[in-house]
């Protein structure tokens, strides 16, 4: 992640937390399934789960646009899930808003960032295999 004045650890920590939440959720889902590989149904479940989180982030962000009382920073994101039987690639496209940016005449600034992470079947299945 490149840093821009007015943005930094707050946004990085949010992105890290969302990535960690998604990864842990996928590991738990896959570990509790009988699947031997990443199926289309599993990928659809992952997409739907991430979609709920992303829609909530966009709805929350939308509320702040015209509000008189708003946080100084907030974020939203869109996502894409790509997969085959062994790998799942999650692409998150973040928009981070700073409403009190010191270098902006109206106080508004936005930084966009894309985060891509890969989930491997052997790693996701390790929890299930170790319990057996």
Average pLDDT of the residues of the chain: 89
């928009």: which residue's tokens?
Answer: 95
The reported pLDDT for the residue numbered 29 is 94
* Strand 109-120 relative to strand 87-98, pairing: antiparallel
The whole-model pTM stands at 0.87
Q: How far apart are CA 50 and CA 4, in angstroms?
A: 27
> What pLDDT, in 10s, does the model give residues 86-115?
999 999 999 998 877 777 777 778 889 999
Are 108 and 126 within 8 A, CB to CB? Answer: no
Q: Report percent pLDDT > 90 for the chain.
A: 58
Q: Exposed/middle/buried for 111, CB within 10 Å: 0-12, 13-18, 19+?
A: buried
Give the closest residue to 127 by CA, choosing from 49, 80, 119. Answer: 119
66-101 as b/e: b if 16+ CB within 10 A: eeeeeeebbbbbbbebebeeeebebebebbbbbbeb
């Amino acid at each position: 992640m490149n840093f821009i004045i007015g943005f930094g650890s707050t946004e990085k920590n949010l992105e890290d937390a969302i990535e960690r939440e998604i990864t842990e959720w996928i590991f738990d889902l896959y570990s509790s399934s009988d699947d031997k590989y990443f199926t289309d149904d599993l990928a659809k479940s992952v997409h739907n789960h991430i979609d709920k989180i992303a829609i909530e982030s966009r709805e929350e962000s939308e509320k702040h646009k015209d509000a008189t009382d708003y946080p100084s920073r907030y974020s939203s994101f869109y996502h894409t899930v790509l997969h085959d039987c062994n790998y799942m690639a999650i692409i998150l496209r973040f928009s981070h808003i700073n409403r009190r940016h010191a270098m902006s005449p109206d106080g508004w600034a936005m930084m966009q960032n894309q985060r891509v992470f890969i989930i491997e079947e052997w790693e996701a299945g390790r929890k299930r295999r170790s319990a057996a």
